[in-house]
A and B are shown apart, each in its own frame.
Chain A
Amino acid sequence: MIETASLLAAVEILFSSASPWLIVIPGIVIGLVFGAVPGLQISTAMAIFLPMTLYMDFMQAMLFLTAIFTGGGFGGSIPAILMNIPGTSSAIATAFDGYPMSRQGQHNVALGLALGSSCIGVIVGYTILFVLISPISELVLKIGPAEMTVVILWGITLIGSLSSGSLLKGVISGLVGLLIGTIGYSEAGVTRGTFGSTYLLDGVAVIPAMIGMFAASELFRLVKTEYLIEDSAARNVSVRLILKGFRRALAHPWIVLRGSLIGVFVGAVPGVGSSVANLLSYMATKRSSPAPESFGKGNPEGVIASEAANSTSEAGSLATLLALGIPGGGATAVMLAAFAMHNITGGPQFIREETDVVYAIIIANFGQAVLLIGLGLVLIPVLANVIKVPMNYLVPSVLAIAVFGAFGLTGDLSGPVTVLVFSVLGWLFKRYGYSVPAAVIGILLGGMAEDSVIYSYQISGGQWSYLLERPMALAILALLVASLFGTRLVDILKRRVAA
Chain B
Amino acid sequence: MAPSTGTAEARAAEPQGEAAHFERTVARDQRIEPRDWMPDAYRATMVRQIAQHAHSEIIGMQPEGVWITRAPSLRRKAILLAKVQDEAGHGLYLYSAAETLGADRSELTAKLISGRQKYSSIFNYPTLTFADVGVIGWLVDGAAICNQVPLCRSSYGPYARAMIRICKEESFHQRQGYELLMTLMRGTDAQREMVQDAVNRWWWPSLMMFGPPDADSTHTAQSMAWKIKRHTNDELRQRFVDMSVPQADALGVTLPDPDLRWNAERGHHDFGEIDWSELKRVISGDGPCNAERVAVRRAAHEDGAWVREAAAAHAAKQEAR
Q: Check if A and B associate.
A: no
Which of A's residues lie within 8 Å of B, judged by CB?
A: none
* Chain B residues near A (Cβ < 8 Å): none
